Amino acid sequence: MSPEAPTSEDVRWLRRCLELAHAAAAADEVPVGAVVVVDGVVVGEGRNRVEELRSPLAHAEMLALQQALVHAGNKRLANATLYCSLEPCFLCAGAILHARVDRVVFGASDPKFGAVRSLANVLEDPRLNHRCTVVAGVEAAASAELLRTFFRQKRGG
């Protein structure tokens, strides 16, 4: 994992991810939001819509990447940063690599499904042709609290 420190822009975009995550929670989806930024401009954003779209592919990161790729008119996202409120899962990490995203910045870690802080770190595996710079823990407390609150309410507590 890169020791790179978060910038003020990282905090700004992670806060946008949290707004999207709150919208996901309001729609009874797992509260995750994602934004793709290229040269300071949002080119894609999404929130979890798995239940709404009845698709296991409708993760916030996947939807944001799809929008960004359409915007780019290409299958690669040069100079792009993906911001997400929760550590990407293995499905999303694979898509991030294939889209050639340069940087990933996330809030809360996902100890159960995360693909960045796990032993099988997908984004920085030295066997891959493309690796991402990773910045973890930006707005982590707010991201983690949103998840805890969502699942506590789901469990009736």
The catalytic residue among 29, 45, 52, 61 is: 61
- Any catalytic annotation for residue 4? no
Q: What is the SS3 string spanning the chain?
A: CCCCCCCHHHHHHHHHHHHHHHHHHHCCCCCCEEEEEECCEEEEEEECCHHHHCCCCCCHHHHHHHHHHHHHCCCCCCCEEEEEEECCEHHHHHHHHHHCCCEEEEEECCCCCECCCCCCCCCCCCCCCCCCEEEECCCHHHHHHHHHHHHHHHCCC
Catalytic sites, residue numbers:
61
